[in-house]
Copies of this chain bind each other. A is one copy, B any other.
Amino acid sequence: MPIAPARVAEAAELAGRIEHFTVLVDGEVAVAELAACAEARGVTFPVMLKVDCGYHRAGVDPDSAAAVALAARIAGSRGLELCGVLTHAGHAYRCRDAAEITTVAEQERSVTVAFAERLRGAGIAVPEVSIGSTPTIALAGDLSGVTEVRPGNYAFFDAFQAAIGACALDDAAFLVAATVIGSHPERGVALLDAGALALSKDEGPRHADPECGYGVLLDPAARRPLAGVRLTALSQEHGHVCGAAAAIAALPVGARVLVVPNHSCLAAALFDRYAVARGAEVVAEWHPVRGW
């Protein structure tokens, strides 16, 4: 995300310790702060200029005169080095299928490349053109003019990505193992020992599947979705599974299930250890880097 002005001094420290350290900006305030800090400390900040390719969250308007002026200011500042332009097509998450994603992917590429060309036409060097979001990179076709892709949670995928057509459910590599701790076929409810603290509480792709619930329940042996049940609610430590009596009866107390979370980035951040499995066998334990 674009750097907060108050974080510039911290960024200067990091830039001295990390080989490839790039700062993201999309506005005057942070650029002025960075330039002043670079001058005061005698350091150089590599800078990427964020451009809005249609998500309308962060990034400069690629058609504005202000965007070119900001790029020129970065390029002309002693202590700042304009490495390139960067975008994130977060609006791809609003797509409902692969065809829609493919359209956004081409928009992400073409808007960003055109902006780079516009800057180059104004005499500003733009070495890098960086694009990235999980859905668009999963389905990107043409990458002409792009020098870097940031593939989001491509390593893990999740139930959200599967629902909008960015991957198959089988591609989801981050699974939460849970155990049934309550089973009440007569009221159509089972309880899992995995709630919001294990799965996070992302509402999921409700625009594409209003019945998506909080993740997809898999049979741990077949790795296929459990028929007739949905993970309809999460409380802090419990997952609430709803279904017809027969489907709940197939989930007695003690049964194991796997959950494909809605948003693997948020769920993965809740764990200090990952068990790495090949088929049913755990072959390694990973300790992810966490923290702020």
Contacts and interface: CB of A to CB of B under 8 A. Distances in A.
B254 A29 contact: yes
A103 interface: no
A180 B291 CA distance: 21
Contact of A181 (B4, B240, B291): B4
B238 A58 contact: yes
B291 A252 contact: no
Given A191-B58, A266-B196, A272-B291, A254 B179 contact: no
Contacts of A36: none
B203 A203 contact: yes
Q: How many copies does the complex hold?
A: 2
Contacts of A182: 2, 26-27, 57-58
A1 B26 CA distance: 47
A253 B191 contact: no
A130 B177 CA distance: 30
A254 B6 contact: yes
Nearest to A58: B182
Contacts of A291: 272
Interface in A252-292: 252-254, 256, 263, 265-266, 269-272, 290-292
A166 to B, nearest CB: 16
Contacts of A33: 254
A171 interface: no
A201 interface: yes
Contact of A238 (B5, B57, B181, B253): B57
Given A6-B254, A191-B58, A238-B1, A196 B203 contact: no
A2 B33 CA distance: 54
28 contacts: A1-B191, A1-B238, A2-B191, A3-B181, A4-B181, A4-B254, A5-B179, A7-B179, A26-B182, A27-B182, A30-B181, A56-B187, A57-B235, A58-B181, A58-B182, A196-B202, A196-B266, A197-B266, A200-B200, A200-B201, A201-B201, A201-B202, A201-B203, A201-B266, A203-B203, A236-B266, A270-B270, A272-B290
Interface of A: 1-7, 26-27, 29-30, 33, 56-58, 90, 179-182, 187, 191, 193, 196-197, 200-203, 235-238, 240, 252-254, 256, 263, 265-266, 269-272, 290-292
